[in-house]
Amino acid sequence: MKVLHKILFCCLLAGMLLPASGMVAQVVDSAPADSAATGVAGMMAAVRRPAPPVNAGAEDTPSDEGHSINVFWELSADDRPGENLVTGYRILRAESPEGPFRETGFSSAGEKRYTDASTVPGTDFYYRIETQTAGGSSSSPVIGPVRSSAQWFNFNILNLFVVGGIISLFIGYFIASAKRGKILFIRKIAGLEAVDEAIGRATEMGRPILFIPGIQDMDDVQTVAGITILGRIAKTIAEYDSKLFVPTSRSIVMTTARESIKEAYLAAGRPDAYSDDYVQYVTDEQFGYVAAVDGIMVRERPATCFYLGAFFAESLIMAETGHSIEAIQIAGTAMPAQLPFFVAACDYTLIGEELFAASAYLSHEPRQLGSLKGQDVGKMIAMLAILAGVTLLTIGSLFNVGIATTAGEWVRDLFRLNQ
């Protein structure tokens, strides 16, 4: 019986093991035949060192200040679209071919150029470019020596040089024409046409004239323009024998204004009528200055107020006070945020560049008139170029005309700073 039990137990155990072994065999047989080979190939590709970049080189960056070198190369054979094997390229730099080489930059996969903008002019540098992958890297041969140097001319902006030269020729022509006595047409500016009338009104009423040259210092071009106009206005005031108040918020502006008015009185033949008391320094503090100016307006009640220069939040305060005393007000500034206040509260407003053109307009001096006319030619050239470029590019886009697109891009690049 014991022998019979052992035989039955062995049979049952064999019956249980045979199906399991069949299942294992079936699973192994059902696997793809090349899966193992593919996995091995993928592992080998991840471990294999990549191909290095080829035809690597370096050169001094043209038309620069001498602080950069362009490094270039052809892509590694492993840098193929869609495979993502190459992660990028390390740019290594040293001051000798033996090294040590240190990383100075990194370029992404697919890129063929890098600009090293940290070089020292006159120093020799050597470069290597390394192809980077997850499995390692491989380097190009050593490149160099190459050194950066400053260039005399920046040919990238040659187009602007040509345009500037053309405008300069026109300026020279108009200056010469004005010196010969030719009358140059200048568009009338209402605010400047009213200067003599406003000064005459103050003289007739026996009331003073107030001039505010802005609240900035002499390093602001608007202040310079305001002081220049002050000199022209002061000459007329001297001829009319009117009283002038010029409160300033900067000490240097005070000194400059005094010299300008003194020259104007001398040119008018009345140097004895000039007084330093015409120009006074108040304070650098913005609203303290405004409070002082408003006090002068209320006490002295000037018949004419000029606001010509750079202004900020105080513009509306002063203009409203001037309006309340029924003064003629002529304002001018290049501050876009303050122009609406002057337009609303003043009788006349010089907008933007009209402030800078006022000196030539009032003096009729040949050099200033010629410069003004030459600048107008430059603006006309820019306007025509914009119109031509927009028209050509629109035609090229709508009707697929290649020559129109090319011409439009040429016109656009003509005024581009960085080519």
pLDDT in tens, 304-325: 999 999 999 999 999 999 999 9
The residue written with tokens 């043209």 in the block is 62
Q: Which residues contact 247 (CB under 8 A, 6 or more apart)?
A: 210, 212, 279, 280, 281, 282, 289, 292, 293, 296
| Domains along the sequence of the chain with CATH | 54-146 (2.60.40.10), 195-346 (3.40.50)
| pLDDT for position 295 | 96
User: Tens digit of pLDDT for each residue in 143-173?
Assistant: 999 999 998 888 888 888 988 899 999 999 9
User: Tens digit of pLDDT for each residue in 408-419?
Assistant: 999 988 887 765
Residue range 293-304: average pLDDT?
96
CB of 419 within 8 A of CB of 163? no
- pTM greater than the 0.75 cutoff: no
- Using only C-alpha atoms, what is the Rg of the chain? 40
Closest Cα partner for 415 from 177, 172, 54, 162? 162
Q: Among 3-7, 272-276, 371-375, whose mean pLDDT is lowest?
A: 3-7
